Chains A and B, each alone.
Chain A
Amino acid sequence: MSDFYIILTGTLVAIACGILGCFLILRKMAMVGDAISHAILPGIVMAFLWSGSRDSVTMLLGAGTLGVLTTIIIEFLHKKGQLQTDASIGVTFTWLFALGVILISAFTGQVDLDQECVLYGEIAYVPLDTIILSSGRDIGPKALYLIGSVLIFVILFVSIGFKQLEITSFDPEYAVALGISATLWNYLLMAFVSFTTVASFESVGAILVVAFLIAPAATAYLISKKLKTMILLTCLIGFISAILGYYLAVALNASIAGAMATVCGLIFAIVFTYIRIMSKKVTKVTNLESAKA
Chain B
Amino acid sequence: MNRQVENPIIEIHDLSVAYERKPVLWDVDLSLPEGQLIGIIGPNGAGKSTLLKAIMGLLPLNSGYIQINGKPLEEMRHKISYVPQRESVDWDFPTSVYEVVMMGRYGQLGLFKRPKKADKDIVMDSLRKVGMEEFKDRQISQLSGGQQQRVFLARALAQQADIYFMDEPFAGVDAATEKAIIKLLGEMSAQNKTVIVVHHDLQSVAKYFDWIILLNMRLVASGPINEAFTPELLQETYGGKLTLLTEISDLIQKHRFPNRE
Contacts and interface: CB of A to CB of B under 8 A. Distances in A.
Interface of A: 26, 28, 82, 160-161, 163-164, 166-167, 169-171, 173-180, 221, 224-227, 229-230
Contacts of B82: 173-174, 177-178
A197 to B, nearest CB: 24
Given A179-B107, A227-B95, A229-B94, 7 more contacts: A160-B112, A167-B106, A173-B53, A174-B155, A177-B57, A178-B77, A178-B106
B128 interface: no
B139 A225 contact: yes
Given A170-B89, A171-B84, A177-B80, A163 B109 contact: yes
Contacts of B56: 177
Nearest to A223: B94
B207 interface: no
A114 B116 CA distance: 53
A149 to B, nearest CB: 22
A167 B103 contact: yes
Given A170-B100, A177-B82, A225-B96, A164 B106 contact: yes
B159 interface: yes
B111 A164 contact: yes
Contact of A173 (B78, B80, B84): B84
B107 A226 contact: no
Nearest to A170: B93
A161 B110 CA distance: 10
A182 B84 CA distance: 16
A176 B94 contact: no
Interface in B94-134: 94-96, 99-100, 103, 106-107, 109, 111-112
Contacts of B89: 170-171
Interface SS of chain B: helix, strand, loop or mixed? mixed
Contact of B58 (A82, A163, A173): A173
Contact of B106 (A163, A169, A225, A229): A163
B88 A224 contact: no
B58 A171 contact: no
Nearest to B91: A170
A180 B78 CA distance: 11
Interface SS of chain A: helix, strand, loop or mixed? helix
Nearest to B100: A170
Given A164-B111, A179-B78, A225-B139, A174 B103 contact: yes
A121 B37 CA distance: 63
Given A171-B84, A179-B78, A226 B99 contact: yes
Q: Which of the listed residues B53, B99, B106 has the most CB atoms from chain A within 10 Å of its own CB? A: B106
Contacts of A176: 57-58
B152 to A, nearest CB: 9
Contacts of A161: 111
Interface string B141-173: 000000000000001000100000000000000
A227 B94 contact: yes
A272 B88 CA distance: 27
A180 B100 contact: no
Contacts of A229: 94
A134 to B, nearest CB: 40
Contacts of B77: 178-179
B47 to A, nearest CB: 17
Contacts of A166: 95, 103
B95 A226 contact: yes
A156 B57 CA distance: 31
Contacts of B95: 166, 170, 226-227
16 contacts: A163-B106, A167-B103, A169-B93, A170-B100, A173-B84, A174-B82, A174-B103, A176-B58, A177-B58, A178-B77, A178-B106, A180-B106, A225-B96, A226-B95, A226-B96, A227-B94
Interface in B27-86: 53, 56-58, 77-78, 80-82, 84
Given A160-B111, A170-B89, A221 B94 contact: yes
B149 to A, nearest CB: 14
A177 B152 CA distance: 14
Nearest to A227: B94
Contacts of B90: 26, 28, 170
A167 B103 CA distance: 7
10 smallest CB-CB distances across A and B, nearest first, come from: A178-B107, A177-B82, A179-B77, A224-B94, A225-B139, A171-B89, A167-B103, A163-B106, A170-B93, A230-B94
Contacts of A170: 89-90, 93, 95, 100, 103
A15 B111 CA distance: 24
A178 B159 contact: yes
Contacts of B78: 179
Contacts of A169: 93
A180 B139 contact: no
A164 B139 CA distance: 20
